[in-house]
Amino acid sequence: LPTPPARLPYVPRVSPRALLGKVTATTFALERPCCVFDGHADASDSVWLAVSFANASAAFRNPPSRADVPPYRQLPTARSYMTLETPAAEFSCPAPGPPVLRVGSDTACRDQGRQDPCNGPLPSPGPYRVKFLLMGCGGPKAETRWSEPILLRTAVSPSTIEPAPPRRGSAVVVIASLLASLGAVLATAVLGALGAKAWGSLRHRGLGTDGSIRRSYRSHHIPPALPPPPCCGCGPPGQCRSA
């Protein structure tokens, strides 16, 4: 009997990075399993990703060889498939690489008739479970645990989108009208108070100016009448005074 593959403690997961489109209606981005297979992989080994509907992952059986790998096109009936064949050296610790693996990104898979493994778009929201499988010339050598269920986004049908926002209820309209009326009344009262205060200030200034004018007004000076000239003996009586 073949030796069963080593069970590794690693659990695949959706990348924790802040990525645009990390989970869509047909794809999701997995964390790259770096350093997971060190000590188990040879230079000729490959790492595969097994994808299964969550309720069918317990029934998945590792293929004995590469020729028995379940293809993408059988997912609707077999409920699982394998994809993303990658040389094991690309997942070793020193090897640089992209931080994520995009599952379901190859849209051309829908039109391919060949038997090659394909990374095609996922046909439904799922949920799905995934695991990594290290395979050599003699079959599976090591495998990770299954991931937690991964649920894809659900596309919204255009027919369910409302063309216009719903009308507000009558109670909301009444409250909005009362608030608007109250605001108008308060604004009128404030403007009236400010106008009265300004008018009173102007009137007070006007009265103060008139008072100062009255206080500064002075009548013309009229000198007292001069005494008649002394009598000189030549004028009529009453037009001169005694010396």
- How do residues 34-51 score in pLDDT, each as one tens digit? 999 999 999 899 999 999
State mean pLDDT over 88-103: 87
Domain presence at residue 198: no
Domain presence at residue 56: yes
Domain presence at residue 195: no
**SS percent in the chain: helix, strand, coil, step 5:** 30, 20, 50
pLDDT over threshold 60, residue 147: yes
Domain presence at residue 44: yes
How far is Cα 58 from Cα 185, in angstroms, rounded to an integer? 72
Kindly indicate the confidence band of residue 99, based on its pLDDT and cuts at 50, 70 and 90: confident
Domain presence at residue 196: no
* Of 196, 126, 120, 191, residue with least CA distance to 154: 126
Domain presence at residue 223: no
- How many CB atoms neighbour CB 33 within 10 A? 19
Is residue 23 classed as helix, strand or coil in its secondary structure?
A: strand
Is residue 6 classed as helix, strand or coil in its secondary structure?
A: strand
Domain presence at residue 215: no
Where in the sequence is the domain holding 57, given as residue range(s)? 6-118+125-155
Q: What is the CATH number of the domain that holds 89?
A: 2.60.40.10
If one counts the domains in the chain, the total is 1
How far is Cα 129 from Cα 12, in angstroms, rounded to an integer? 9
Segment among 31-35, 139-143, 154-158, 207-211 with least mean pLDDT: 207-211
